[in-house]
Amino acid sequence: MRPDITGPSRAISARRAPAQSSWGERLLAVGGALLAILLAAAVSAPEVALAAPAFGPVHRTPAGGFEELMVPSSMGPVKVQVQWAKNGGSGALYLLDGLRARDDQNAWVINTNAMQQFENDDVTLVMPVGGQSSWYADWLSPSNTNGQKFTYKWETFLTKELPDFLAGYGVSRTNNAVAGLSMSGPAALRLAAFYPGQFKHASSFSGPLNLTAPGMPEAMRLMMLSAGQFNRDSLAPPWSPAWLRMDPFVFAPQLRGVPMYISAATGAPAEYDHPTSAMGVVDTFDAMWIESLAMVGTRALQARLNALNIPAVYDFPLAGTHSWKYWEAELWKARPYILTALNG
Rounded to whole angstroms, how far apart are CA atoms 131 and 133? 6
Q: Is 123 helix (H, G, I), strand (E, B) or coil?
A: coil
Kindly name the residue from 155, 161, 291, 330 that is annotated as catalytic.
291
Kindly name the residue from 322, 323, 328, 330 that is annotated as catalytic.
322
Kindly name the residue from 73, 182, 203, 206 that is annotated as catalytic.
182
C-alpha pair distances (Å), 214 with each of 204, 293, 296: 21, 12, 12
Rounded to whole angstroms, how far apart are CA atoms 122 and 113? 17
Query: What are residue 177's DSSP bridge partners?
Result: 93, 201
**274 assigned to active site:** no
Single-letter residue type at 242: A
Q: Angle at the Cα of 164 (from 60 to 61), degrees rounded to 5?
A: 10
**292 assigned to active site:** no
Rounded to whole angstroms, how far apart are CA atoms 250 and 264? 19
Query: What is the side-by-side strand order in the sheet with 92-95?
Result: 66-71, 78-83, 124-128, 92-95, 176-181, 199-205, 260-263, 313-315
Rounded to whole angstroms, how far apart are CA atoms 313 and 73? 34
**Active site (catalytic) residues:** 182, 291, 322
